[in-house]
Amino acid sequence: MNNEKGMTLIELLVAIVIAGIIVVPLVTLMVSTLTVSQSQGKETNIAYVAQEVMEKVVHQTPTLGIGQYCWSNMEGQCSGYTLLTNLYSNSAVHDEVVVIVRVTDYEGPFHEVTVKVLNETTVSNGSNEVARENEIELVTVVRTP
């Protein structure tokens, strides 16, 4: 019986444990990379929204006047603000966002325009969902006529 070739049960169990020790960290690394990638994609998306809104608001600043304005593709998020219309159609923004625009007096014939885009999202990290709030704020100064 000493000439039989094959693996014993102990050798097989040791091989499985070694494979597990190697595979588990790799799977954990892949899941965390996927989570970071999803999060960065959402941050990039709301940064794009903030830039687009800033460009549209800067062109509308003479007609907007001093005040706080809001636009959202979700219901009931803009109470207490003057609503901005025609910033985006609801189909243009895929994530749920709230855009707050603040126009204030600056020195002389200038206005300070602040655009803040908020987005609450959940990101999966493999075993559970993690709530995350993304916020982008852009500030510029615009000369008024």
In-domain check, residue 1? no
Radius of gyration of the chain (CA): 26
- Which pLDDT belongs to residue 15? 92
Least confident range of 60-69, 86-95, 109-118: 86-95
Q: How many domains does the chain have?
A: 1
In-domain check, residue 130? yes
Least confident range of 11-15, 41-45, 138-142: 41-45
Sheet containing strand 129-143, strands side by side = 82-83, 67-72, 98-105, 110-124, 129-143
Encode pLDDT of 26-36 as tens digits: 988 888 888 77
Say whether pLDDT at 91 is over 70. Answer: no
In-domain check, residue 4? no
Average pLDDT over residues 34-54: 82
Distance CA 47, CA 38 (A): 14
Q: What is the mean pLDDT of the chain?
A: 81
In-domain check, residue 13? yes
Distance CA 126, CA 37 (A): 13
Say whether pLDDT at 129 is over 90. Answer: no
Domain that holds residue 62: 9-143
Is the model more confident about 2 or about 40?
40
